[in-house]
Amino acid sequence: MRPAGRVTAGGAVRYFTKDDPTAVYRFYGSDDRLLYVGIAHDPSKRWKAHSRTKWWARVGRKTVEWYPNRAEAEREERRAIAAEHPLLNTAGSSSKPDKPIRPGGPDVASYWEIANYLKVSRQRAREIAEKHPDFPRPIARLAMGPLFLMDSVKKFADGWERRPGRPRKTS
């Protein structure tokens, strides 16, 4: 039987406290490459949620390490993501690097950086990049999406006539 839950300010029901033991788990692919690092009070329950993702079929091996409380587990998760570079993690990773990808190389931008620079949503940034005739062409296309030279994006932004409101639908 599950213990009585505690309702958070956001309305979620929590059955565990920050002082309860917490697991840091890792998923590895069949080639033994690290795919994902996560934390959970109940790893098997968390894994059920992961099992509904597109990448779940790639998981070949799982490991679990227990920590005395959530704070220590969160520290280990952040350390592991930064040091071990799992392929699929987004939470806990830096989505916007402080430095260019290659030291001394060109500063590149994905839809995320473009959206922040133009002060629009990622979806709108993608729409602008794909449909605006003056938007610069990508320098590379990766699995995560196209990469653009940030200098080209800035040059586009200087001449971009931003109009308030939703764009009109075109047939």
Residues 98 and 170 in one domain: yes
Residues 73 and 116 in one domain: no
Q: How far apart are CA 98 and CA 16, in angstroms?
A: 35
Q: Is the pLDDT reported for residue 76 higher than 90?
A: yes
Percentage of residues in the chain having pLDDT higher than 70 = 80
Residues 100 and 153 in one domain: yes
Q: Is residue 42 part of a domain?
A: yes
The predicted-structure confidence for 3-56, as pLDDT tens digits, reads as follows 445 555 555 555 677 888 999 999 999 889 999 999 998 898 889 989 988 889
Mean pLDDT over residues 149-157, rounded? 92
Average pLDDT, the chain: 82
Q: Residue 164 has what pLDDT?
A: 76
Mean pLDDT over residues 106-114, rounded? 88
Q: Residue 1 has what pLDDT?
A: 42
Q: Is the pLDDT reported for residue 160 higher than 60?
A: yes
Q: Is the pLDDT reported for residue 167 higher than 90?
A: no
Residues 138 and 69 in one domain: no
Residues 169 and 108 in one domain: yes
**DSSP codes of every residue in 80-111:** HHHHH--SS--TTS-SS-SS-SSTTS--EE-H
In the chain, the number of structural domains is: 2
Residues 55 and 11 in one domain: yes
Q: Can you give the residue range of the structural domain that contains 102? A: 94-171
Q: Residue 69 has what pLDDT?
A: 93
Q: Residue 94 has what pLDDT?
A: 46
Query: Which H/E stretch holds residue 15?
Result: none
The predicted-structure confidence for 125-148, as pLDDT tens digits, reads as follows 999 999 999 999 998 888 888 999
Residues 80 and 18 in one domain: yes
List C-alpha distances in Å: 18 to 2, 30, 64, 68, 105. 17, 33, 18, 10, 43
Q: Is residue 26 part of a domain?
A: yes
Residues 117 and 160 in one domain: yes
